[in-house]
Amino acid sequence: MDAHRLKKLEQTTRYDPSEVEARIFGEWMEAGYFHPPAEGTPDENFSVAIPPPNVTGALHMGHALNGSMQDALVRMNRMRGRNSLWILGTDHAGIATQSVVEKTLRAEGKDRHELGREEFVKRVWEWKEEYGSRIVEQYKRLGASCDYERERFTLDDGYVKAVYRVFKQLYDKGYIYRDNYMVNWDPGSHSAISDLEVENREVTDTLYSIDYPVEGTDRVLTVATVRPETMLADTAVAVNPDDERYGDLIGQFCVLPLVGRRLPIVADEHVDPEFGTGALKITPGHDPNDFEIGRKHGLEEIVAIGPDGRLTEEAGERFAGMTAAEAQEAVVAALRERGALSGEEPYVHSVPFSHRSGERIEPLISLQWFCRMDELAAPAIEAVESDRVKIAPGQWKRVYLEWMREIRPWCISRQLWWGHRIPVWYCDACEETYVAEDPAAAPERCGACGGELRQEEDVLDTWFSSAIWPFATLGWPEDTPELRAFYPTSFLTTAREILFLWVARMIMTGLEFAGDVPFHDVYVHSVVQARDGRRMSKSLGTGIDPLEEIDVHGADALRFGLLAMSSTQDVRYSDAKVQQGRDLANKLWNASRLILLNAKGADGPKAGHIDTISARRPEDRWILSRMERTIASVTAKLDAYDFAHAATEAYSFFWSELCDWYLEIVKPRLYEGEEEVSANLLWLLERTLALLHPIMPFVSEEVWSYHPSRRGHLAVHSFPAAEDSLFDPEAEAEVERGIELTRRLRAWRDMVEVPAKSELSARVEGEAPQEFVGRLSRFALDGDGGDPIAAVGPVRVLASADIDAAAVAARLQKRRGELRAEVARAEGKLANEKFVARAPAELVEGERAKLERYRAELEELAE
């Protein structure tokens, strides 16, 4: 070690992540560890496709948690020697990105229509070039070992090719079709959105009752609605066929107030006779249910509200041009004036809102592209039923299957400019339609009549392109080396909110196009909530910025904290866990200083080899055994996606057993320069660093740089496999007895308020405990003479000026109380004949043995 580094190690008593992390990340990148060759088979290799963040995105806690989990597994498998690829890239995020750029345009006083489509898309690309790599840089701060040299974007040339190919094949199969159908219209983004992008919220509306006179009679049918303005597009009134009140009216007509249109009275089972008056106004143009009923009965579909949210000519001169809200007011006023309004009451119900823009959905009939899903779903259902794709935790498997079994057509067109423009061309002259399967082979003129072609204006839903992420990123549809080496990928971690939106669709497209499932394991992780239990969200101001946490505590601390707090259920963000991670990094640094600055003669050519360690003393055998058991257990937990327990178990082995006990036990040997213990400590340190590296890559790599056994970076060091030859139950039992006795002696001292410094004199009955017991509890156990004043296990404490007799008496009194309670408990249990008869024999025996011990101790302490 050169003098400068030695000095740093000697003088730095606090680990400073900010000084370390960027430098180390640079070293890894420089070495190219994260850019594996496209060799080997998917079975031998390890690969993960990152859930592609939006180009507009900034790293949030969800990314940080998900990234910490993926990186832990990728790093562990890389260290195991597997050719490991973590595919990275970003999603073009149609609506989000388009609105960001539109906002900057607005700031310049322009809108996209002024620019025109081509110019606007150019602007979005410029924006993407400038800001689109922000989130990728943020993943580096986290320490994510992604392949940054293979970064992909869903609008890359190659990726677009894959999207076209998929569209064409689905079209040719007849799955993709165009239809005039009711869709969720988002007035915010001025586009249709899919069912999955809609969220229902509870709102309080006014439920209006309106009287529709029945033609040729003096009867009225009273209907109820929360959207009176839609009455302008009513084309029928429906009643339940079994409703006796209205049986005679079926087939007759109502007259629509304000408009005068004749509305047939139809019978439909969907109508609930119990609700309201049992009569339902039917507006096929503006209500999804009514749309279904309308199609069933062949009703006219009138569109009274346009895509701009304003009333159309169909609504009549009086209302045309008004916004829906204005029209509602006007319609209510007009009805009231005519006495047709027979009721108003507050009404709480759930209504659809756009997940993207937050605006209330306007159900609208429009010409859109759809993809039929049932044929694609069938094999994807089978793959999960048969566990070819395993979804954990188990309840999500059921949720997936239930949704898939009732899957509905997917509206895939969006009225945006930013995205994959649908590869369909129309010939207006002869009504021919063309679909391109390659962007390079877009048709130019109509093959039938030679006429001009016009490309579809709409783009595809962003999720259409993310659905093919795992194979499109590897070069599909070309037969690339990457595809052969890394598909199927090994596993996927995800938040449950995109289980349907993304995961299910990847399984469907993977089976359909890439010939295999996209991954074998899906792990649905918890949602990290804000500290107060609310969801983290920008708009609520409840978000916690991972980058700020990294600035303050370091990436390792955040990674450890997130993994430790993760769970199968949702968790609140815990500052304490992140602090625990920070403390762990610091402790690791300082324990390493102790070892590295004092170890002697252990850096020969065989350094770090198992043959160099010595296990003659019980405490050495104990810690070596515990180390290997911890490796076995932590590794198994990581492989089973149990990140929280893996992290906390590694923590507690290192902190409690290695630092609190073993280091304290061996300090005298270490300071004497004993080579044996030095070799053991270096071995233990090496294995601990390697074990922790997947969870805390930076601090472990930094410490490793000082380790005499180092031949290269820890990032590519071999991951420890548990050496079961070192398991040693006898040594474990022996040392644990010593530890237990030390604890009791310390507790006794504290209880009788002996000054911390004073060494007490005592002697031992029977076999002498291990050397460390007396040293760590500050007892001289070789005392002689005098009557003992107290007993702690086999130790007889001798009188001393430092011991307060009254305190000892009080302590004795307390202990006797405890013992009597224990004796009573055990006696009670053993007096229960059924317990003795039916409980397992060893349990009963154990209870008897305990009773004996308690009685014996009580006797010893008799007054």
Which 199-218 positions form the footprint of RNA (CB under 7 A)?
A: 199-200
Residue 311 CA to residue 313 CA, distance in Å, equals: 7
The 3-state DSSP class for residue 281 equals: strand
16 binds RNA (CB under 7 A): yes
Residue 758 found at the interface with RNA (CB under 7 A)? no
If one asks whether residue 831 binds RNA (CB under 7 A), the answer comes out as no
Query: What is the smallest separation between the CB atom of 55 and RNA, expressed in angstroms?
Result: 24
Binders of RNA among residues 287 to 306 (CB under 7 A) are 287-289, 292
Query: Should residue 269 be labelled a site residue for RNA when binding is judged by CB under 7 A?
Result: no
Interface with RNA by CB under 7 A: which range of 59-67, 246-254, 472-480, 661-669?
661-669
Q: Which of 127, 148, 177, 655 forms a contact with RNA (CB under 7 A)?
A: 655
Q: How many angstroms separate the CA atoms of 234 and 138, rounded?
A: 53
478 phi and psi angles, rounded to 5 deg: -70, 155
Pairing of strands 198-213, 341-354: antiparallel
Identity of the residue numbered 77: N
Position 196 contacts RNA (CB under 7 A):
yes
- Pairing between β-strand 279-282 and β-strand 413-414 as defined by DSSP bridges: unpaired
CB 796 within 8 A of CB 764: yes
d(CA 334, CA 336): 5
- Nearer to RNA among residue 338 and residue 572 (C-beta): 572
Using rule CB under 7 A, residue 827 touches RNA: no
Which residue in 133, 415, 568, 614 binds RNA (CB under 7 A)? 568
State yes or no: residue 103 binds RNA (CB under 7 A).
no
Pairwise CA distance, residues 260 & 264, whole Å: 13
Choices 184-192, 268-276, 515-523, 784-792; region in contact with RNA by CB under 7 A: 268-276
Answer yes or no: are the C-beta atoms of 36 and 83 closer than 8 Å.
yes
Restricted to residues 582-601, the positions that interact with RNA (CB under 7 A) are: 582-583, 585-587, 590-591, 593-594
Q: Which is nearer to RNA, 168 or 850 (by Cβ)?
A: 850
- Which residue's entry shows tokens 């490309």? 455
CB nearer to RNA: give 42 or 276: 276
d(CA 396, CA 499): 9
Closest to 222 in 3D by CA, of 206, 235, 239, 205: 239
132-135 contacts, C-beta under 8 A, 24 or more apart = 132/55, 132/90, 134/58, 135/53, 135/54, 135/55, 135/57, 135/58, 135/59, 135/63, 135/90
Q: Does 692 bind RNA (CB under 7 A)?
A: no
Is 278 a binding residue for RNA by CB under 7 A? The answer is yes
Nearer to RNA, 747 or 807 (CB): 747
Q: Smallest distance, Å, CB 750 to RNA?
A: 4
Q: Does residue 497 belong to the site contacting RNA (CB under 7 A)? A: yes
By CB under 7 A, tell whether 850 contacts RNA: yes
Q: Is 574 in the site for RNA (CB under 7 A)?
A: yes
Binders of RNA among residues 363 to 422 (CB under 7 A) are 395, 398-399, 403
Please, which of residues 619-648 interact with RNA by CB under 7 A? 644-645, 648
Site membership for RNA, residue 756 (CB under 7 A):
yes
Of 4, 65, 40, the closest CA to residue 577 belongs to: 65
- Closest CB to RNA among residues 141, 577: 577
**With CB under 7 A, what is the number of residues at the site for RNA?**
90
Q: Which of residues 727-746 bind RNA (CB under 7 A)?
A: 743, 746
Please state, in angstroms and rounded to a whole number, the distance separating the CA atoms of residues 150 and 86. 9
Rule CB under 7 A: say whether 567 interacts with RNA. Answer: yes
Cα–Cα nearest to 575, from 508, 583, 284: 583
Q: Which of 8, 245, 338, 572 binds RNA (CB under 7 A)?
A: 572
Q: Which is nearer to RNA, 729 or 840 (CB)?
A: 840
Residue 210 or 315 with smaller CB distance to RNA: 210
Q: What phi-psi label fits residue 369: left (phi over 0), alpha (psi between -120 and 50 degrees) or beta?
A: beta
Residue 828 in contact with RNA, rule: CB under 7 A: no
